[in-house]
Amino acid sequence: GQHFGSRFAWDQEGYLYFSIGERGERDVNPQDLKRDGGKIYRIHDDGRVPTDNPFVGVAGAKTAAFTYGNRNPQGMTAHPKTGEIITHEHGPQGGDEINFIKPGRNYGWPVISYGENYGGGEFAESTAKEGMEQPFYYWVPSIAPSGFAIIDTTAYGDWNGNYLVGSLKFQYLEMLYIKDKRVIKREKLVDGIGRLRNVKMGPDGLIYIAVEGKGIFSIKR
């Protein structure tokens, strides 16, 4: 009853990506290619598995899987300029991550993490290990991220290109300022509005947020 993941995004080539969380079974699902949980998947729009998926031909593997070692990705988007698929996922008491999704990569959960057990205490081997990806960015403490968008309009001035992430736990929209492919600043927007479930760029060029139990709102600078 937890860690469903369940986010979707299309890339520029027409492939559909979606996330499945590790369902709370951290020690069995995310590192096992034979099990469904803790993965990002890539399929054709009719459900077929692409023949160039990284685990096609691997005995017993989930061939629709594109990455593994993911915890609970509740944000996913395609970069409006490069087309790269980017996700963020919940960590335990810290260690929420943003990751650029690369074929066949292991994102480390639960072997490496910047978080700790609920109630305190380390559980991961370390924060880094050979053969496992480092996050593009991580939060300590956790903000419980949900929803992900990249501003792709000059309507918001110098916000263009920044990342938007909703916070379930602290009930605000976070904006990450991006420069030279790294985060240089964090800012809270619409602080205290409620548990943000999603954020999207609308076809009209406005930012839209979905707030749990309240509805959908647009944001103007």
Same domain (yes/no): 157, 75 = no
Average pLDDT score over the chain: 95
Q: Is 21 exposed, middle or buried (0-12, 13-18, 19+ CB in 10 A)?
A: buried
Q: Of 117, 139, 161, which residue constitutes the final position of a domain?
A: 139
Same domain (yes/no): 172, 208 = yes
Same domain (yes/no): 16, 43 = yes
Tell me whether residue 90 is one of the annotated catalytic residues.
no
Same domain (yes/no): 177, 219 = yes
CA-angle at 15, arms to 14 and 21, nearest 5°: 145
pLDDT tens-digit series, residues 178-192: 999 999 999 999 999
Per the residue annotation, which of 3, 79, 88, 90 is the catalytic one? 3
pLDDT tens-digit series, residues 37-92: 999 999 999 999 999 999 999 999 999 999 999 999 999 999 999 999 999 999 99
Same domain (yes/no): 111, 159 = no
The CATH number of residue 78's host domain is: 2.120.10.30
Q: Give the residue numbers spanning the domain of 29.
A: 1-139
Same domain (yes/no): 41, 17 = yes
What's residue 119's pLDDT? 72
Q: Of 139, 164, 193, which residue constitutes the final position of a domain?
A: 139
| Overall average pLDDT of the 21-35 stretch | 95
Closest-CA residue to 22 (of 84, 73, 64): 73
What's residue 147's pLDDT? 97
Type of residue numbered 135: P
pLDDT tens-digit series, residues 125-169: 899 999 999 999 999 999 999 999 999 999 999 999 999 999 999
Q: What is the pTM of this model?
A: 0.94
